[in-house]
């Protein structure tokens, strides 16, 4: 597994900007990449606000991308 902090920036949810840290990591099996992940974490709490997963499994005819995005933030 290879992990690196790529950048910082802002992510907008419900009209509010949140500072984020973008972290990428790559999963490999026997030297073959099976998935790349990009996660955007809220800088203060490290709660993931966005995740993008690109799968490169040999059984898939084309790479598959899955995305999870926070759509609201509530204080509890």
In the chain, the percentage of residues whose pLDDT exceeds 70 is 87
Which pairs count as long-range contacts for 4-9, CB under 8 Å and 24+ apart, including other chains? 6/38, 8/43
Distances (CA, A) of 28 to 3, 63, 72: 12, 15, 33
Query: Is 58 a domain residue?
Result: yes
Kindly indicate the confidence band of residue 7, based on its pLDDT and cuts at 50, 70 and 90: very high
Is 74 domain-assigned? no
**How many Cα atoms sit within 13 Å of 13 on the Cβ side?**
16
| Residue whose C-alpha is closest to residue 17's, from 8, 30, 28 | 8
The answer to the question of residue 53 being in a domain is yes
51 located within any domain: yes
When divided into structural domains, the chain yields a total of 1
Q: Let me know if residue 23 belongs to a domain.
A: yes
Is residue 15 scored above 80 in pLDDT?
yes
pLDDT tens readout for residues 55-75: 776 566 666 788 878 887 776
Question: Which domain, by its residues, includes 51?
Answer: 2-69
């Amino acid at each position: 597994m290879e992990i690196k902090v790529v950048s910082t920036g802002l992510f907008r949810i419900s009209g509010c900007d949140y500072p984020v840290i973008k972290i990428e990591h790559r999963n490999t099996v026997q030297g073959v990449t099976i998935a790349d992940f990009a996660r955007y974490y809220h800088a203060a709490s490290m709660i993931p606000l966005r995740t993008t997963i690109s799968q490169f499994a040999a059984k898939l005819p084309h790479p598959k991308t899955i995305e999870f995005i926070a759509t609201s933030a509530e204080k509890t």
